[in-house]
Structure 1
């Protein structure tokens, strides 16, 4: 898996990869990735590093019910989301997309989500 993640970060622009977040808990590991487009995500999913990592994972967990997996994909059109950060580093969508400060023109959620200046 580390080789796949390294490849994503080293080739972000050509792959369409924007950012990733990972969370590790007692019984849960979550990886969230952000992509420029569905097409680029699907193209990477069929690429050699991803297929190799997926094959290795499946070989390790075959025959055991100790590991589960779920996969969700969401398409969010540009301008149809917001992430707000107060006194913390950029995270999630804030790392993956353009970060804009809140101004007098975008002080409320309604103003931010309907403003033509909130280009993500």
Structure 2
């Protein structure tokens, strides 16, 4: 699907703290399809679950590929509290998946065919900035909306000082 670019210079309309979760997987053994396909499907199912229920706090996401055999999702969240609540919610798919992973790990049944990782970053208000030139809403701007760059400052230092 082609998204029309927004003409000129824009910035993300984010307000307050920004919570960014990078989460992904690496296929360590291509032949172990029975291990990495379920992990990939689980990752996609959690994204679908979160996009269906916006009250859980996911603002937006981007699916990416990294180094060979590495797939990840950049997620933008309303707050760290909503991120933690989703991760621990017994009625959500994430909780069930991690219970299975932890049980298999304790039993010595994980064979290192697929690696799973995440990193969480909380950027306080005034410590992030963005600029997009002739781009459709992307990244943080796709998650929070766009503003003309002049509303936050034409230079990065001005946008970083926005409070």
Q: TM-score normalised to the size of structure 2?
A: 0.59
In the alignment, structure 1 residue 51 sits paired with structure 2 residue 95: yes
- 2:37 alignment partner in structure 1: none
Cα distance in 1, alignment partners of residues 102 and 45 from structure 2: 16
Name which of 23, 33, 57 aligns with 2:64. 23
Measured after TM superposition, the shift of residue 97 of structure 1 is 2.2
Cα distance in 1, alignment partners of residues 121 and 110 from structure 2: 30
Q: Can you list the C-alpha shifts for 1:70-118, whole angstroms capped at 9, x where unaligned? A: 22111111232112112222222111224221228711112222244xx
SS in 2 for 1:21: strand
Query: Relative contact order (alpha carbons < 8 A, sep ≥ 6): 1 or 2 greater?
Result: 2
Q: TM-score normalised to the size of structure 1?
A: 0.77
Cα distance in 1, alignment partners of residues 81 and 133 from structure 2: 33
- 1:38 alignment partner in structure 2: 80
Contact 2:130–2:156 at 8 Å: present in 1 too?
no
Q: Which has the higher strand share?
A: 2
Measured after TM superposition, the shift of residue 39 of structure 1 is 0.7
SS in 1 for 2:122: coil
Measured after TM superposition, the shift of residue 54 of structure 1 is 3.4
Cα distance in 2, alignment partners of residues 105 and 74 from structure 1: 22
Give the aligned CA root-mean-square deviation in angstroms: 2.6
Contact 1:4–1:53 at 8 Å: present in 2 too?
no
Name which of 49, 73, 81 aligns with 1:7. 49
